[in-house]
Amino acid sequence: MEFALVVGVILIALVFDYTNGFHDAANAIATSVSTRALTPRAALFMAAAMNFVGAHISTEVARTVGTGIIEPPSGTHGLVVVGAGLIGAIVWNFVTWYFGLPSSSSHGLIGGLVGSALAASSVVQWNGVVQKVLIPMILSPLIGFLLGALIMIAILWIFRRANPHKAGRGFRYAQTVSAAAMALGHGLQDAQKTMGVIFLALYTGGYVAEHDPIPQWVILAAAAAISLGTYSGGWRIMRTLGRRIIHLSPAQGFAAESAASLVLYTMAIAAKAPISTTHTITSAIMGVGATKRLSAVRWGVAGNIVTAWVLTIPAAALVAALSYYLLHWVVE
């Protein structure tokens, strides 16, 4: 029974990873597609490939998610806690995908784990939640906004005398590189979160020790699932990021993607923090748009997105808590 639960939780984790891929595909390629730097299918293929590569660069974020957020009890009860947390994150992913809102799959996962742990009276490592989730959750969009604005200002100054047509064509080519960098950062961040949850399930089931390295098959499975999800695309959210916030030029798209990539790499490698790629690219797009004029950003759409951000952790936690009570009644 316990082995079957471990397998079941791993499968649910890979389903979450897949939904994370198609939910967040827009993060990497919406700006490139909206500026016609890349065709949608080519952009999705590139993003899927770079997601796969990015998942193999580091496992620091996976370690944070796997051992730094909750401490579920061992055995069947702990596996139910982890499974319920994943269900909460998956349900919230589908809700926000349906309404085309670029919410955070990462924070949905964290909220789900915390919600199920609280419902089960398990240990939540609040120090880790605050330092590795809440503080980076606030800082990363602010840094993305400011960095996007600064890069855009630098581009406007450097190319102030350039031929607009030639400069636009050049930035379309440059966006291929910046979109690839963004997709690499997405794999570096988001695929690792699923690795961390699978490791948590294995640890809870007694198949690995706390300080063991992440098994290679876990890395490959998480990388493959998020890549397949990315290739399937998330067109509703792509439309929001690419067109509804601001109509982007190739130079603006390049600036936003470059800013977001820098934030993702820094937080994953230096801070070991599981930040939201969605928050980061969205805030970078807003920062880039604000350099043109504040009215260029559709702040009403931005407000709806921020509302989804605020609701993500508590909403996923609530669904996870309800899922825990159901699973506890059925399984235990």
* Of 325 and 93, the one with more pLDDT: 325
SS3 229: helix
Region 136-141 average pLDDT? 85
Give the lowest-confidence range in 31-40, 155-164, 225-234, 249-258.
Answer: 31-40
Give the pLDDT confidence score for residue 158 in this predicted structure.
Answer: 92
Region 277-301 average pLDDT? 75
42 pLDDT tier (thresholds 50, 70, 90): confident
- Structurally, the chain folds into a number of domains equal to 1
Asked if 210 contacts 203 with a C-beta cutoff of 8 angstroms, the reply is yes
294 pLDDT tier (thresholds 50, 70, 90): low
How far apart (Å, rounded) are the C-alpha atoms in residues 163 and 326? 63
Instruction: Report helix angle 40-54 to 216-232, nearest 10.
Output: 170
How far apart (Å, rounded) are the C-alpha atoms in residues 84 and 86? 5
Q: What is the pTM of this model?
A: 0.82
Asked if 146 contacts 169 with a C-beta cutoff of 8 angstroms, the reply is no
Asked if 302 contacts 245 with a C-beta cutoff of 8 angstroms, the reply is yes
Give the pLDDT confidence score for residue 245 in this predicted structure.
Answer: 47
Region 259-281 average pLDDT? 86
How far apart (Å, rounded) are the C-alpha atoms in residues 314 and 327? 20
58 DSSP assignment: -
Give the lowest-confidence range in 28-32, 139-143, 210-214, 321-325.
Answer: 28-32
The yes-or-no verdict on residue 262 having pLDDT over 90 is: yes
242 pLDDT tier (thresholds 50, 70, 90): very low
61-71: buried (b, 16+ CB within 10 Å) or exposed (e) per residue?
bbbbbbbbbbb
The yes-or-no verdict on residue 300 having pLDDT over 70 is: no
191 DSSP assignment: I
The yes-or-no verdict on residue 102 having pLDDT over 70 is: no
Give the pLDDT confidence score for residue 234 in this predicted structure.
Answer: 54
* Of 244 and 73, the one with more pLDDT: 73
How far apart (Å, rounded) are the C-alpha atoms in residues 323 and 88? 7
The yes-or-no verdict on residue 247 having pLDDT over 90 is: no
Q: Which amino acid is at 231?
A: Y
- Name the range with the highest mean pLDDT among 66-70, 131-135, 218-222, 276-280: 218-222
The yes-or-no verdict on residue 101 having pLDDT over 70 is: no
130-148: buried (b, 16+ CB within 10 Å) or exposed (e) per residue?
eebbeebbeebbebbbebb
> Residue 54: which domain range?
1-331
302 pLDDT tier (thresholds 50, 70, 90): low
Is the C-alpha dihedral spanning 97, 99, 101, 104 positive or negative? negative
The yes-or-no verdict on residue 235 having pLDDT over 90 is: no
Distance of CA 4 to the CA centre of its chain: 29
The yes-or-no verdict on residue 241 having pLDDT over 60 is: no
Angstrom CA distances, 263 to 14, 241, 278, stand at 26, 18, 12
> To the nearest whole percent, how much of the chain has pLDDT over 90?
23
* Of 97 and 291, the one with more pLDDT: 291
